[in-house]
Amino acid sequence: MSDRYLSLDQVAELLGTTARFPRRLIEERRIRYAKAGRHVRIPESAVNEYTGARTVEPIRLRRTVVRRAA
């Protein structure tokens, strides 16, 4: 299965950020990337892994029944 490689602008659009954010992720080695000469590309699966690992699920609160004295 081949992975689709995205430019920094495409990754930024997917994440809803500016191109500076994916550049910072690369600089801090927080996401996988590939270099072809001076071009940097990020595999689509790396973006999915990054967002999946940082997705916070909501907490389900139990409703407690308050009983009033009659």
| 64 in a structural domain | no
Q: What's the pTM?
A: 0.76
> How many domains does the chain fold into?
1
Give the span between the Cα atoms of 38 and 5, in whole angstroms. 15
Instruction: Confirm whether 15 is domain-assigned.
Output: yes
Residue pLDDT, tens place only, 16-40: 999 999 999 999 999 999 999 999 9
pLDDT digits (tens, 9 = 90+) for 42-70: 999 999 999 999 999 988 888 776 777 76
Find, among 70, 7, 67, the residue nearest to 36 by Cα.
Answer: 7
Does residue 65 sit within a domain?
no
The one-character DSSP state at 37 is T
Q: Structure tokens of 9?
A: 């602008």
- Print the domain residue range for 26: 5-53
